[in-house]
């Protein structure tokens, strides 16, 4: 793959270099007769454009080959979170937010990725639409509507553990990386459009630079793949067990949502099927609630969401 990318870079520079201008001929000094220094010929504008195209293509190829750094993942996650907050206001209920963060941190620290670049942050979105979003880097947003669907703290922890699973498995980042690989393969064309084109070409650049919208749709609208959802379920069951929560709570909340049905919200961004619910039930057998679970449920019931 890297050889292909290098080939694209070289081919792009060569084609644009040869097509855009001709190298001016320079006088060749004849030794040993001393000659006055010849000022370097100015680089033609077309040459600079061609070099810039190749350089930018090469830079993006290198970036894609190494993937995202932790800091890049975090800031991309913030960009996705900003899009969500533009659609749904963030809850100003400090008590409820602190409680959700307490539960979220309890499961995050027991996950396969207990730490992120800037840590995990949990927030509540003011909407009755039941959903939850895992933004790359550790920002997790759950709607008030989905909290209302939970019957106890263990079910809330199950939802948050599932979202932590998406972050730990880098499901959002993987979709971003695929988009970046596509960007690398088309960078030469778009950079050339920026340098040489206008009008319709400029519109093409605008569409290309709006690829962050496609990433947002993958994470928050179109949803993850069934394989990604099942992997996040397995991660959540393991995390809940480590954190001391009842892992069967995940099957309980998923089963209730599946029974309620619906075509949007959680069902669109987190594809839910009866097979998925049954698979989670197989992973975590239901057991009677113990004293600690009863205490957590009482604490949950006392919260005013």
Which residues, listed in sequence order, are joined to residue 134 by a DSSP beta bridge?
140
Share of the chain above pLDDT 70, in %: 61
The pTM score is 0.71
pLDDT score, position 6: 43
pLDDT-derived band at 221, boundaries 50, 70, 90: confident
Gap between the Cα atoms of 124 and 133, Å rounded: 10
> E strands, the chain, where?
121-125, 132-135, 139-143
Residues in the chain: 305
Gap between the Cα atoms of 166 and 119, Å rounded: 15
CB 253 within 8 A of CB 217: no
pLDDT digits (tens, 9 = 90+) for 123-179: 999 999 999 999 989 999 999 999 999 999 999 999 999 999 999 999 887 776 555
Gap between the Cα atoms of 135 and 195, Å rounded: 34
Q: Under CATH, domain 70-172+221-301 is a member of which superfamily?
A: Metalloproteases ("zincins"), catalytic domain (3.30.2010.10)
Highest mean pLDDT among 109-118, 193-202, 288-297: 109-118
pLDDT, averaged across the chain: 75
pLDDT digits (tens, 9 = 90+) for 54-91: 555 555 555 545 567 888 788 878 888 998 999 999 99
């Amino acid at each position: 793959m890297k050889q292909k990318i290098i080939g694209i870079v070289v081919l792009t520079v060569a084609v644009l270099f040869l097509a855009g201008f001709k190298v001016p001929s320079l006088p060749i000094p004849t030794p040993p007769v001393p000659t006055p220094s010849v000022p370097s010929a100015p680089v033609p504008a077309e040459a600079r454009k061609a070099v810039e195209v190749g350089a930018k293509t090469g830079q993006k190829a290198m970036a894609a080959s190494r993937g995202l750094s932790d800091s890049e993942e975090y800031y991309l996650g913030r960009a996705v979170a900003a899009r969500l907050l533009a659609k749904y206001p963030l809850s100003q209920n400090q008590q409820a937010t602190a409680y959700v963060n307490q539960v979220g941190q309890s499961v995050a620290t027991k996950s396969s990725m207990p730490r992120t670049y800037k840590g995990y942050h949990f927030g509540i979105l003011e909407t009755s639409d039941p959903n939850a979003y895992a933004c790359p880097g550790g920002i997790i947003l759950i709607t008030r509507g989905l909290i209302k669907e939970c019957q106890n703290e263990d079910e809330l922890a199950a939802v948050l553990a599932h979202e932590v699973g998406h972050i730990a498995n880098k499901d959002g980042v993987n979709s971003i990386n695929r988009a970046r690989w596509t960007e690398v393969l088309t960078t030469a064309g778009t950079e050339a459009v920026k340098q040489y084109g206008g009008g319709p070409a400029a519109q093409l650049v605008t569409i290309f630079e709006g690829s962050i919208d496609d990433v947002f749709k993958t994470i928050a609208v179109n949803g993850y793949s069934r394989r990604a959802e099942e992997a996040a379920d397995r991660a959540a069951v393991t995390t809940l067990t480590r954190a001391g929560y009842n892992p069967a709570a995940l099957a309980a909340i998923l089963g209730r949502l599946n029974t309620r049905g619906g075509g949007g919200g959680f069902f669109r961004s987190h594809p839910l099927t009866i097979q998925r619910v049954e698979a989670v039930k197989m992973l975590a057998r239901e057991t009677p609630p113990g004293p600690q679970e009863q205490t957590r449920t009482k604490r949950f019931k006392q919260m005013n969401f």
